[in-house]
Amino acid sequence: MAITEQRATDERRAADGRRARGDASRRIVLEAAADLASLEGLDGLSIGRLASAASVSKSGIATLFGSKEQLQLATIAAAAERFTATVIVPARVQPRGIRRLTALLDRVVAYSQDRVFPGGCFFSASAADFHAKAGPVRDALADQLENWMGYISASARYAVEQGELPGLDDPDQLAFELQGTFEWMNLMAVIRESDVHYARARRAYRDRLVSLGGDPAIAELVLEPGAAVR
């Protein structure tokens, strides 16, 4: 009986070890995949190209993900986690309302400026790749973009409810405008390799909030321009 129990324990430990190594390999591969996709496009992400970039065998990546589509979907999920950790989570230290909204806007500018993904915004690049290609990958990208827009809108709605943006009657419209500013900022900043577009975006965000009745002192940016995202 003791021998049987020991064998079972050893087998569980071996299985746990394999699972831990598999999880670590998956994280390494997905980190490289998200970086690569931000530079070369999610549609061009292949098992062979990623194997070379991540120094992992093709068979190893195929075992982890099974197909190119599953790799792309997993890469989107991993990119979303990185975005959340660098933009949304730090902004949550601010109270709901205009302070959190301002923090979110400043974080998303810094997210592009600090190259959290080497090619700028992963989602902007990937959406451009898949905007006309129906299927699960495009749906996953659309879900992430809509979730982000919804979060901006909800943050603006809290500011309205607290009397901090008395001139705002359509938080969804504001979210649309703010995201449009970010998209153009990210595109031009990456193409031109210039920080001037980040400064213009920060000014645009702040002036828009003030125009809606936001207190200029509260609407000041939470981070100094160019401050690193943690």
User: 226 in a domain, yes or no?
Assistant: no
Ramachandran quadrant class, 226 (left: phi over 0; alpha: psi -120 to 50; beta: rest)? left
User: 193 in a domain, yes or no?
Assistant: yes
Alpha-carbon gap, residue 8 to 22, rounded angstroms: 21
Range list of H helices, 67-195: 68-83, 89-91, 98-113, 122-130, 136-161, 171-192
Residues 34, 79 contacting (CB under 8 angstroms): yes
At 188 the pLDDT is 95
In 3D space, the residue among 164, 216, 81 whose CA is nearest the CA of residue 174 turns out to be: 164
At 110 the pLDDT is 94
At position 125, the amino acid (one-letter code) is A
At 135 the pLDDT is 94
User: 219 in a domain, yes or no?
Assistant: no
Alpha-carbon gap, residue 100 to 157, rounded angstroms: 11
User: 172 in a domain, yes or no?
Assistant: yes
Low-confidence ranges of the chain (pLDDT < 50): 14, 16, 20, 222-230
At 224 the pLDDT is 45
Domain limits for position 26: 2-211
Secondary structure (3-state) at 153:
helix
The CA radius of gyration of the chain, in Å to the nearest whole number, is 21
User: 196 in a domain, yes or no?
Assistant: yes
Query: Which CATH number belongs to the domain containing residue 114 in this structure?
Result: 1.10.357.10
User: 67 in a domain, yes or no?
Assistant: yes
User: 218 in a domain, yes or no?
Assistant: no
At 18 the pLDDT is 52
Crossing angle for the helix pair 122-130 and 2-40, to the nearest 10 degrees: 80
Alpha-carbon gap, residue 217 to 68, rounded angstroms: 49
Alpha-carbon gap, residue 49 to 187, rounded angstroms: 25
pLDDT digits (tens, 9 = 90+) for 187-215: 999 999 889 999 999 999 999 999 999 99
At 226 the pLDDT is 40
Full-model pTM: 0.82
Count of structural domains within the chain = 1
Residue 53 has, within 13 A of its CA and on its CB side, a CA count of: 19
At 167 the pLDDT is 97
**Using CA of residue 188, residue 134, residue 117, residue 199, what is the dihedral sign?**
positive
User: 70 in a domain, yes or no?
Assistant: yes
At 4 the pLDDT is 67
